[in-house]
Amino acid sequence: MSATPQKNRRARRLLAAVAGLATFGALAVAAPAAVGAQDSGQGQGHGNGHPKPSTVDVQLLSFNDLHGNLEAPTGSSGNVNEIQADGTVKAVPAGGVEYLASSLRTARKGNPYSITAAAGDMVGASPLLSGLFHDEPTIEALNKIDLDVTAVGNHEFDEGSAELTRLQNGGCHPVEGCFEKGKKFKGADFPYLAANATYEKSGKPVLKPYTVWKKNGVKVGFIGVTLEGTPNIVTAEGVKGLKFHDEIETVNKYAKELDRQGVKSIVALIHEGGAPASTSYNYDCDSPGPGDGISGPIVEIAKGITPKVDALVTGHTHQAYACTVPDPAGNDRMVTSASSFGKVYTDTTLTYDLRTKDIVRTSVKSANHVVSRDQAKAQDMTDLIARWNKTAAPIAGAPQGFISADINGRGSTELEKPLGNVIADAQLAGLSPADKGGAQVAFMNPGGIRSDLVHKASGGEGDGVVTYGEAFTVQPFTNMMNVVDLTGAQLLTALQQQVSGSNEASIKILQVSKGFTYTLDMTKTGAARIVTDSVKLNGEALDPAKTYRVAMNEFLGGGGDGFPVLGQGKNKLVGASDLDLFNAYLAANSTAAAPLAPPATDRITIIK
């Protein structure tokens, strides 16, 4: 999903100030991955007189888009939809690494050939518990979960290629040092794969392009790629010096290389995805009804990837699906995704032919499973969360404001989101004074809203209290704010770019500050969906020739998320961070006696 980074500046300063107060726990030793690129030991033998089997079942457990959600996500962000026996749909609480670890460990029982893989965005846009420490806690948790391999996602580049390399190889942060006294960060003990992300100067991949899992003569190759459009959804600084290549061409190139090495069983881990016809994790994606199935970028990618690849594990869209899409030879091939935030995992059976060393494609079976919170928690994950929470507590628990009810952002399915309105209003309020930029309107990209504000207490702060940790979880990138000059004509183009160009297939509706109104006609297509003469600022029609002062985060200000016109702003003033403005707005507009209520969503009139 879209968003950006320049991480947690204020939080870092606060952390440094309270570091002496924090009690540092002993670093738990990360368990080695169950199986890796080297042979992991002996499998089950066969008694005398019994014929050796011709196939073995390889279990592939997979998930994607964890985004550092170690604790169970709260509010609607922590639910998955589940189709019931009677056809109704029920929202089920799910996720959190304490439960994800338990689910994976239970699923592995009785499966001697079990691999756990992921499709990117393990870190980035993370809640404070992980983001405050540059996601070291998440890498530690994934080591303990025995993740075998993951692709990079766009968010793995949020802090640049050097920081991604540090997450892989270990070492303390170059600026902030070691977060736990006397303990050096060990890095990931699983390979991050970045086949289509290369250095511009050398042309070499940022990290390994592929790896081979081996056990008892069984070999499965994994190729990992992120979406080619990563530079459009990450700040320029995050992808500086890098080039991102076509997903199909890259996977096909390395599949051919693996095949030449005698690796015939290949899985592609792709941080790009699609949209199933149902949002329920247990939807039958291959049901024959009209409008069923899956759409989106992954469909064409799957159709173009060589038949040498036996299955595709995907991500990015935060959807759950297990679908078959025909390969270039016309044969069905499994394409899966497991929602986000550790709420779902996929269990795929790959039947491995010991003679041909290939997967029997017709035998591939796959299903998504909810990571239920009804099961026992994994104690090592509980201990890890408690240890890092203790270090983060002086910052995370500080109250910022008060709300009267849930204010939904990430969890809202509407195009105009209550929390989007609050964030845009906070940016306008902070940047409208003449000496702060003189902003007249503020825009917020929807993908940058990472959570909801939940009324129920997350800890001991009390219901309705918004803590620093909760505000950080909503806006974890700590983007600096920009105020720029744009003409009315450019603003109209920006609105049209929400529903056209690179955003036409998957629209991105900017959240707008109070006083900015317009009509969105969803019965039309492309740029025509914006009703031109309906666009008004404080009741006055937008003047194409007039110049307006517009506030937005630096990601949008750089033309990110498919809004190139917003990168054309002039007379830029750099303001405070989005998180600082958000917290300042909460403090100025809410008290325990008069908490902030969810705002009306009446700025964008939508014709359906």
Q: What does the pLDDT look like over 175-223, one tens digit per residue?
A: 999 999 889 999 999 999 999 999 999 999 999 999 999 999 999 999 9
50 falls in which pLDDT band (50, 70, 90)? low
Sequence-ordered list of residues with C-beta below 8 angstroms from that of 10, at least 6 positions apart, any chain:
478, 577, 579, 580
**Does residue 90 carry a pLDDT above 50?**
yes
Report pLDDT for 53.
85
Q: For 408, which DSSP code?
A: -
Place of tokens 């940022």: 206
Q: What angle do CA 551, 555, 557 make, to 5 degrees?
A: 45
Instruction: Kindly report the average pLDDT of the chain as a whole number.
Output: 91
Q: How confident is the model at residue 118 (pLDDT cuts 50, 70, 90)?
A: very high
In this model, does residue 68 exceed pLDDT 80?
A: yes
Token pair, residue 345, equals 């995992």
Please state, as a whole number, how many other Cβ atoms lie within 10 Å of the Cβ of residue 261: 12
DSSP state letter for 132: T
Q: For residue 4, is pLDDT > 90?
A: no
Averaged over 133-137, what is the pLDDT?
Answer: 98
pLDDT of 24 strictly over 50: no
pLDDT at 288: 77
**pLDDT score of 401 more than 90:** yes
Q: Do 191 and 152 form a contact (C-beta atoms < 8 A)?
A: no
Could you tell me if 563 and 456 are in contact, meaning their C-beta atoms sit under 8 angstroms apart? Answer: no
Q: From CA 350, how far away is CA 190, in angstroms rounded?
A: 21
Instruction: Read off the DSSP letter of residue 359.
Output: B
**Predicted local distance difference test score (pLDDT) of residue 39:** 36
Give rounded-to-5 percent helix, strand, coil for the chain: 30, 25, 45
Residue 279: CB partners within 8 Å, gap ≥ 6?
Answer: 81, 319, 320
CA distance 92 to 80: 5
- For residue 205, give the DSSP letter: B
Residues constituting the chain: 608
Asked if the model's pLDDT at residue 405 lies above 70, the reply is yes
Band (pLDDT 50/70/90 cuts) for residue 49 is low
C-alpha to C-alpha distance for 484 and 403, rounded to whole angstroms: 31
| pLDDT surpassing 80 at residue 15 | no
Distance of alpha carbon 484 from alpha carbon 551, whole angstroms: 7
How many CB atoms are closer than 10 A to CB 579?
A: 24
**pLDDT(302) > 60:** yes
* Token representation of residue 245: 């290549």
Q: Is the predicted pLDDT of residue 40 greater than 80, yes or no?
A: no
pLDDT at 17: 37
Report pLDDT digits (tens) over 309-347.
999 999 999 999 999 999 999 999 999 999 999 999 999
Q: Model confidence at 236, in pLDDT bands (50, 70, 90)?
A: confident
Average pLDDT for 502-530? 97
- What is the CB-side half-sphere exposure of residue 423 using CA atoms within 13 A? 35
Question: Token pair 């010096």 is at which residue?
Answer: 241
Element (H, E) at 406: none
> What's the CA gap between 397 and 222, in Å, rounded?
41
Instruction: Determine how many CB atoms are found less than 10 A away from the CB of residue 290.
Output: 6
- Report residue 138's pLDDT band, with 50, 70 and 90 as the boundaries: very high
Q: Is 517 helix (H, G, I), strand (E, B) or coil?
A: strand
